[in-house]
């Protein structure tokens, strides 16, 4: 230890100690000379030998190498700029994607001690649900000893005075802010002792985002009353901007309110007492006490569930467990309120990011290939310089190290530029998506480590090879070049094919019929639940409204649906059928729905009034659930068994996402769904006029209820906007890769030409024709390009296979997409190869032969 | 000269008093009856290593030729090291001698 300490001191006082050493040795020489002993050693070299003992010479060498590298990079700004640009692009797009991955999966959310937070789901013998009925959660909160805190969160859509669209309210247990460490920007947060007391006043804590958006961050809102669902409540505070809370993904709700007040705001809500699976329930979060493991907490919740089942045998499942997952990450939040039987499938956030990541990795590969080509070409250009340095005594190891240092310097600069580019893109995307302030995409150590790893990885891979070749004064550049070409061709081929597949899938979404009538249809949502209507009263109102609308001129068909197409609500249900998992959008509709939406019934029959325990499934559900079997008469288990009575044609919600498989199942309306139903109507006339006529018709029924009337055609256009955006992003990536690959090929071919100037000159002197000269240059490209194409097609097919199960409308063997991508690639690569190859034709044989 | 021997000799000649680099070389040269000749290329790297190990320290002084130069002086750790190394050397030397005499 003291030796290490002294060594460090030598590093710190290097200059002084070096002077002292030099003085010692000088004195030695003087005295030796006086005594008549001449000493002819190189004193500089001797001094360096002595300093070696300190063990710090590598720093000197490194600094020397860095200085030299910086100088030589400055001397060829074109090369330097191109290399840094390549790295910045390659690393930048990956940093952007990794940034999202980081934000969702790696980085803990902005609450106190996020790592210890757990999220619980429900699981029975044959059932699962992500939501937990509130009374069950409350029972856990009251009785758990292993959990230091139990937090329940319910999201409900509400109407706030002065807002046209419904807003999200987050109803939370009173300990939400206290136990998650959320402070307030102004006023106070929720306090369990005040806000959960009996007869507490209804209060709201605004989210920071809503406070800024609606009230322009005015601190005087505290103490004001706000009408929510026509109920008064006092704003007691605003949540801090850096508090993410739990229970939502990349957005803030309008406000947080104590969950015990939910029935006050939502008339007729049985959230607090309803044990049944139909209850919206809460997402359940917990934090184990000190020294308690998650499995101990799970074990305790299991025994508590057993205890609770004794009181509520119908509502608590047999063998109910509450498995946990780490809750302190955004990825734990995006699992929605899904339920079903059998095994659940997780939400596809990680696979989607993995797909994006593998596409951007291809861009990285192409960029690396270009970098390798640049370095290779440069190494040839520097051959003379290197030879001179070797001739005057530079050691081979030192030379390799120096060249390698140069690559590392490039990598560092490239990484910095890449992080800057990537986080700019990430910020822009987050801002575009309207992400709240706490969703911070700025680079942290993980992003820095990622970028540095990528940069140094590429520098080692592509900097070391040329360095070693130069160091050995031996050139096997041909093989390296061929590998580079093949890798680039393969990577850009994968990108082109996959972007082609995505592009075609998107076009299909955009230009093919969605499978239902949207141009002539309107949707009327009355939000009866928010107006305090009971199911029976809702039924009477909606039946009357249906009659009113049916009587309007031009109306052809009117019906009811729980989740109309292109709406904001989609319910995803999963179940196990004969051992495999089937997932689809669930809708509850009145019998006339198929007529209104013009969805053909392919086989069997539509729903009938007073049907019970029957379902109509879409074609793709039938095919995936019972492949090769007669689907009519089959049953599915949702706690109760439902019999398939009809097969409807597939319809699509036009969301470019995971659940978009065209899979739908239609069930009869259940009694408690009436307040949430939407009236859909199709007209023979102009839908705008029907929309205008509906409002007064509804006003005649009850002037207090002002329904939201939406043209499905405009909802359709809105959705298309999103699809077009994805298509744009995909095609930008594809063209970027193609552009990079072309640059790479141009560079490598012109390098090949410059290397073979003399040979070409001789051939021309001997009478070779231009075509033959071109053939000589290009012939050697054929093999690597072919290998690259084969690898690329295989890679793309593999990736497409992976994507197919997750994104709608992608077929993994779409010959047109493959042919188009390969054709386009061959064309551009051909042009990129011929352009520089033409240089070979302009070679003057005389000059070429004199060329050294 | 076997490696490590130079350090041992330097430790030994520094036991009596502090010396500068040239004097160390001279002292070893004279004491070995002109057999051992220590070059700068060996002496100074070895001295640097000994400084790092803490066996010697260097202080400014004035040489007999009236020149400012550093004098190397044994530390207690160096003295201990000298004793250890001499003991080890003698043991090995005796063993070799025994083998040479009896074999």
pLDDT at A473 over 60: no
Per-position pLDDT tens, chain B of length 103: 666 788 899 999 998 888 888 889 889 988 988 888 888 888 888 888 888 888 998 888 888 888 888 999 999 999 999 999 999 999 999 999 999 998 7
Within 8 A of B43 by CB-CB distance, chain A residues are 28
Triad A498, A85, A384: Cα angle to 5°: 120
Lookup: tokens for A470: 């130069």
Among chain A residues, CA nearest to B39: A39
More confident call, A482 vs A219: A219
pLDDT at A187 over 80: yes
Classify the phi-psi angles of A718: left when phi > 0, otherwise alpha if psi is within -120 to 50, otherwise beta.
alpha
Closest CA to A651 of A609, A579, A602: A602
Residue A657: the pLDDT is 47
Lookup: tokens for A157: 């859509």
More confident call, A458 vs B97: B97
Which of A125-134, A331-340, A596-605, A770-779 has maximum average pLDDT?
Answer: A596-605
Residue A778: the pLDDT is 80
pLDDT at A658 over 50: no
Residue A103 DSSP code: I
Residue B83: the pLDDT is 93
| Cα A522 from Cα A269, distance rounded (Å) | 28
Q: In what order do the strands lie in the sheet with B68-74?
A: B19-20, B68-74, B56-62
Q: Do B45 and A49 touch (CB under 8 A)?
A: yes
pLDDT at A170 over 80: yes
pLDDT at A172 over 70: yes
pLDDT at A852 over 60: no
More confident call, A106 vs A738: A106
Q: Which of A3, A29, A50 sits opposite B54 (nearest CB)?
A: A3
Q: Do A25 and B39 touch (CB under 8 A)?
A: no
Least confident of A126-130, A147-151, A415-419, A610-614: A126-130
Tens of pLDDT, residue by residue over A772-789, are: 888 877 887 788 888 888
Lookup: tokens for B83: 């004793």
| Cα A380 from Cα A606, distance rounded (Å) | 75
What is the average per-residue pLDDT within A31-45? 73
| Cα A301 from Cα A132, distance rounded (Å) | 12
| Cα A360 from Cα A95, distance rounded (Å) | 9
Q: Do B48 and A46 touch (CB under 8 A)?
A: no
Residue B98: the pLDDT is 92
CA distance B67 to chain A (A): 8
Give, for A256, the enclosing helix (H) or strand (E).
strand A255-258
**What ranges make up the beta strands (E) of A609-695?**
614-618, 635-638, 640-648, 664-668, 678-683
Among chain B residues, CA nearest to A41: B41
Least confident of A504-518, A550-564, A634-648, B30-44: A504-518
The residue of A53, A54, A56, A57 whose CB has the most chain B CBs within 10 angstroms, and thus the best one to mutate to test that interface, is A53
What is the average per-residue pLDDT within A808-830? 73
pLDDT at A656 over 50: no
The residue of B7, B21, B44 whose CB has the most chain A CBs within 10 angstroms, and thus the best one to mutate to test that interface, is B44
Q: Which of A7, A24, A52 sits opposite B21 (nearest CB)?
A: A24
pTM of whole model > 0.80?
Answer: no
Above pLDDT 90, what percent of chain B? 33
More confident call, A380 vs A410: A410
Closest CA to A369 of A487, A236, A472: A487
Q: Do B40 and A30 touch (CB under 8 A)?
A: no
Full 3-state SS string of A692-717: HHHHHHHHHHCCCCCCEEEEHHHHHH
Within 8 A of A51 by CB-CB distance, chain B residues are 48
Residue A515: the pLDDT is 79
What is the average per-residue pLDDT within A681-690? 89
Residue B97: the pLDDT is 92
**Per this entry, what is the length of chain A?**
852
Among chain A residues, CA nearest to B53: A3
pLDDT at A57 over 90: no
Least confident of A104-108, A162-166, A179-183: A162-166
Lookup: tokens for A519: 């141009």
Q: Do B52 and A10 touch (CB under 8 A)?
A: yes
Please give the mean pLDDT across all residues of chain A. 83
Q: Do B52 and A34 touch (CB under 8 A)?
A: no
What is the average per-residue pLDDT within A707-734? 77
More confident call, A813 vs A770: A770
More confident call, A176 vs A582: A176
Residue A836: the pLDDT is 79
Q: Do A23 and B53 touch (CB under 8 A)?
A: no
Tens of pLDDT, residue by residue over A59-117, are: 888 888 889 889 988 988 888 888 888 889 889 989 988 888 888 888 888 888 888 99
Full 3-state SS string of A350-388: HHHHHHHHHHHHHHHHHHHHHHHHHHHHHHHHCHHHHHH
Above pLDDT 70, what percent of chain A? 90
Which residues of chain B approach chain A closer than 8 Å at the C-beta?
A: 20-22, 25-26, 39-41, 43-49, 51-54, 58, 63, 65, 67-70
Among chain B residues, CA nearest to A4: B52
More confident call, A507 vs A237: A237
Residue A97: the pLDDT is 87
Residue A803: the pLDDT is 66
Lookup: tokens for A142: 């009251």
More confident call, A290 vs A3: A290
pLDDT at A509 over 80: no
Q: Which of A23, A47, A52 sits opposite B69 (nearest CB)?
A: A23
Full 3-state SS string of A302-315: HHHHHHHHHHCCCC
Interface pTM, i.e. ipTM: 0.83
């Amino acid at each position: 230890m003291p030796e290490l300490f002294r060594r460090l001191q030598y590093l710190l006082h290097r200059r002084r100690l070096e002077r002292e050493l030099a003085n010692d040795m000088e004195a030695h020489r003087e005295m030796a000379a006086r005594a008549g002993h001449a000493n002819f050693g190189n004193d500089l070299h001797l001094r360096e030998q002595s300093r070696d003992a300190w063990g710090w010479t590598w720093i000197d060498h490194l600094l020397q190498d860095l200085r030299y590298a910086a100088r030589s990079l400055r001397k060829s700004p074109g090369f330097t700029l191109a290399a840094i640009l390549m790295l910045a692009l390659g690393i930048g797009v990956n940093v952007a994607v990794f940034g999202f991955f980081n934000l969702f999966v790696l980085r803990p959310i902005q609450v106190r001690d996020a790592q210890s937070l757990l999220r619980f789901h429900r699981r029975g013998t044959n059932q699962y649900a992500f939501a937990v009925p509130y009374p069950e959660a409350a029972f856990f909160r009251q009785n758990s000893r292993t959990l230091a805190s139990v937090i329940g969160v319910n999201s409900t859509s509400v109407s706030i005075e002065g807002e046209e669209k419904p807003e999200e309210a987050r109803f939370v247990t009173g300990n939400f802010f206290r136990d998650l460490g959320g402070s307030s920007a102004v006023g106070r947060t929720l306090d369990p002792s005040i806000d959960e007391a009996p007869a507490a006043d209804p209060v709201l804590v605004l989210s920071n985002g809503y406070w800024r958006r609606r009230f322009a961050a005015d601190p005087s809102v505290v103490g004001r009353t706000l009408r929510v669902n026509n109920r008064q409540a006092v704003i007691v505070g605003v949540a801090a901007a850096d508090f993410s809370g739990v229970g939502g993904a990349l957005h803030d709700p309008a406000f947080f309110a104590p969950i015990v007040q939910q029935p006050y705001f939502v008339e007729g809500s049985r959230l607090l007492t309803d044990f049944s699976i139909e209850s919206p329930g809460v997402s359940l979060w917990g934090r184990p006490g000190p020294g308690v493991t998650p499995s101990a907490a799970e074990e305790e919740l299991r025994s508590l569930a057993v205890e609770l089942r004794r009181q509520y045998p119908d509502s608590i499942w047999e063998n109910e467990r509450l498995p946990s997952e780490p809750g302190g990450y955004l990825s734990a939040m995006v699992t929605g309120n899904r339920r079903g039987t059998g095994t659940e499938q997780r939400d596809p956030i990680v696979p989607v990011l993995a797909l994006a990541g593998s596409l951007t990795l291809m861009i990285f590969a192409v960029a690396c290939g270009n970098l390798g080509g640049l370095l290779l070409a440069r190494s040839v250009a520097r051959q003379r310089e290197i030879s001179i340095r070797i001739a005057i005594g530079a050691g081979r190891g030192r030379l390799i190290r120096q060249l390698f240092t140069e690559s590392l310097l490039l990598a560092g600069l490239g990484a910095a530029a890449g992080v800057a580019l990537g986080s700019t893109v990430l910020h822009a995307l987050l801002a575009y998506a309207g992400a709240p302030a706490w969703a911070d995409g700025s680079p942290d150590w993980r992003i820095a480590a990622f970028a540095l790893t990528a940069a140094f990885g590429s520098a080692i891979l592509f900097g070391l090879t040329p360095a070693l070749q130069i160091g050995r004064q031996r050139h096997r550049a041909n093989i390296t070049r061929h590998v580079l070409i093949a890798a680039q061709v393969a990577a850009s081929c994968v990108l082109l094919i996959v972007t082609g597949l995505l592009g075609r899938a998107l076009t299909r979404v955009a230009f093919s019929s969605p499978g239902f009538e949207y141009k002539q249809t309107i949707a009327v949502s009355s939000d009866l639940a928010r107006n305090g209507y009971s199911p029976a009263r809702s039924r009477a109102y909606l039946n009357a409204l249906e009659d009113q609308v049916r009587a309007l001129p031009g109306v052809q068909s009117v019906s009811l649906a729980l989740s109309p197409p292109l709406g904001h609500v989609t319910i995803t249900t999963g179940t196990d059928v004969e051992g495999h998992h089937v997932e689809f959008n669930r809708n509850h509709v009145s019998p006339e729905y198929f007529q209104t939406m013009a969805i053909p019934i392919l086989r069997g029959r539509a729903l009938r009034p007073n049907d019970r325990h029957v379902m109509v499934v879409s074609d793709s559900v039938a095919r995936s659930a019972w492949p090769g079997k007669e689907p009519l008469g089959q049953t599915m288990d949702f706690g109760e068994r439902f019999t398939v009575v009809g097969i409807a044609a597939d319809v699509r919600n036009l969301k470019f996402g995971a659940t978009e498989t065209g899979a739908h199942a239609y069930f009869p309306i259940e009694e408690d769904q009436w307040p949430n139903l939407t009236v859909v109507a199709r007209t023979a006339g102009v839908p705008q006029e029907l929309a205008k006529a509906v409002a007064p018709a509804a006003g005649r029924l009850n002037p207090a209820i002002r329904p939201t009337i939406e043209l499905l055609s405009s909802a359709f256009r809105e959705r298309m906007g999103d699809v077009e955006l994805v298509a744009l992003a995909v095609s930008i990536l594809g063209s970027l890769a193609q552009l990079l690959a072309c640059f790479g090929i141009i560079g490598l071919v012109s390098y090949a030409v410059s290397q073979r100037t003399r040979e070409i000159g001789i051939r021309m002197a001997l009478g070779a024709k231009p075509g033959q000269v071109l053939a000589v240059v290009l012939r050697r490209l054929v093999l690597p390009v072919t290998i690259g194409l084969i690898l690329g097609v295989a890679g793309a097919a593999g990736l497409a296979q992976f994507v197919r199960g997750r994104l709608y409308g992608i077929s993994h063997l779409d010959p047109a997409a493959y042919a188009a991508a390969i054709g386009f690639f061959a064309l551009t690569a051909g042009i990129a190869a011929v352009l520089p190859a033409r240089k070979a034709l302009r070679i003057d044989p005389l000059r070429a032969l004199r060329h050294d | 000269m076997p490696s490590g021997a130079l350090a041992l000799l330097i430790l030994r000649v520094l036991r009596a008093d502090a010396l500068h680099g040239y004097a160390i070389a001279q002292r070893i040269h004279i004491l070995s009856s002109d057999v051992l000749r220590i070059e700068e290329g060996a002496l100074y790297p070895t001295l640097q290593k000994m400084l790092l190990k803490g066996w010697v320290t260097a202080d400014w002084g004035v040489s007999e030729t009236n020149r400012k130069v550093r004098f190397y002086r044994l530390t207690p750790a160096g003295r201990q090291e000298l004793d250890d190394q001499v003991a080890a050397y003698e043991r090995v030397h005796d063993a070799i001698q025994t083998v040479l005499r009896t074999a």
